[in-house]
């Protein structure tokens, strides 16, 4: 998902590559959807299996709340950036900043499962 998000921020404009720009955007959004579909189930399993036996539901609720919290944070990022730059800059490049910044999360995504190690059976 992080790769698709970063690539959305780096997409050429319609003026640069014509109709290929919205087609590529659609393909990348589709890739994001596939990625989140796969990551959600794995995240739920990882969180609930790693949680103490008596707190699995509580920990699982945090994983479930991740998507709505992500939407709120994304909206806050766009509100902040749009308030800091001119409308012209925001419409040309400013909206891309959060997408490009998601590149930082790509590396972190690979580190955490390695640090957690194996999982126990439920």
3-47 pLDDT tens trace: 888 999 999 999 999 999 999 999 999 999 898 888 888 888 888
Q: What percentage of residues in the chain have a pLDDT greater than 90?
A: 39
- Report yes or no on 42 lying in a domain: yes
- Report yes or no on 121 lying in a domain: no
- Report yes or no on 72 lying in a domain: yes
Q: Give the separation between CA 8 and CA 43, rounded to whole angstroms.
A: 24
- Report yes or no on 103 lying in a domain: yes
How many domains are there within the chain?
Answer: 1
Which residue has tokens 């945090």?
62
- Report yes or no on 84 lying in a domain: yes
pLDDT grade, residue 63 (50/70/90)? confident
pLDDT value of residue 23: 97
Q: What percentage of residues in the chain have a pLDDT greater than 70?
A: 89
- Report yes or no on 54 lying in a domain: yes
* Residue range(s) defining the domain that contains residue 32: 2-116
Mean pLDDT of 47-53: 87
pLDDT value of residue 119: 54
């Amino acid at each position: 998902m992080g790769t698709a998000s970063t690539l959305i921020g780096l997409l050429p404009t319609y003026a640069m590559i014509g109709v290929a720009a919205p087609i590529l955007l659609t393909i990348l959004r589709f890739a994001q959807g596939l990625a989140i579909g796969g990551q959600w189930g794995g995240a739920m399993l990882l969180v609930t299996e790693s949680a103490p036996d008596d707190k699995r539901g509580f920990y699982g609720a945090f994983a479930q709340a991740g998507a709505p919290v992500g939407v709120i944070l994304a909206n806050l990022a766009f509100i902040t950036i749009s308030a800091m730059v001119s409308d012209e800059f925001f419409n040309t490049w400013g909206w891309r900043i959060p997408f490009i910044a998601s590149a930082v999360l790509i590396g972190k995504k690979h580190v955490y499962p390695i640090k957690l190690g194996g999982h126990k059976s439920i």
